[in-house]
Amino acid sequence: MTTTEHPHGHDGHQDPTLYRTPADAVAAPGEKLAYVVGFDPAGARPDALFTVGTDPGSSAYGRVIAHAEVPGVGNELHHFGWNACSSALAHAGHHHAARRYLIVPGLRSSRLHVFDTVPDPARPRLVKTVEPGELAARAGYSRPHTLHCGPDGVPSGTGRSSP
């Protein structure tokens, strides 16, 4: 298969994990990894993104494979997702979308943490932190809660800051 062929007949996508419909996603092979967050409710230790094996045929099944801490404490990592998602970007005109960057908001801190899953999806690396002031200035948002995909993979949050 070339990088522009989708295993389910969706031409033009380089990432075979982007699907046009929920039915296409359900019919696809299962995920081999899951990303979950852990945080200290007391805010004494840094939050972290954990990678867990989800392939029943792997020795890593059900185990934490790796973790990556975010700087500081009290972030309360919350509802997160890819910079590119199937429902928003697996359509005509989005031929180079890819699930690569995990965008993880901190509910208490108002920071956005960007993790890169390339070259090793089992070991995401924190590559950027968007501070609350930058988020408010550039997007007009504070307290990012739930991320949604948008054009060009730009996340938007909920909780607009006051003018």
Q: Copy the structure tokens of residue 27.
A: 């019919």
Q: Which residues pair with 141 in a beta bridge?
A: 160
Question: What is the model's pTM?
Answer: 0.75
How far apart CA 142 and CA 163 sit, in angstroms, is: 11
Which positions ≥6 away from 111 have C-beta within 8 Å? 70, 72, 75, 105, 129, 130, 131, 132, 135
Q: Residue 62 contacts by C-beta under 8 Å, 6 or more apart in sequence?
A: 52, 53, 54
pLDDT of residue 10: 42
Q: What is the pLDDT of residue 43?
A: 83
In tens digits, what is the pLDDT along the chain, a chain of 163 residues? 223 333 434 444 466 777 777 788 788 888 899 999 998 888 899 999 999 999 999 999 999 999 999 999 989 998 887 765 555 554 555 556 677 888 899 988 999 999 999 999 999 999 999 999 998 898 887 787 776 655 454 444 434 333 3
Rounded to whole angstroms, the Cα distance separating 101 from 65 reads: 18
Backbone torsions φ then ψ of 25, nearest 5 degrees: -65, -40
Under a CB-based contact definition with an 8 Å cutoff, are residues 67 and 37 in contact? no
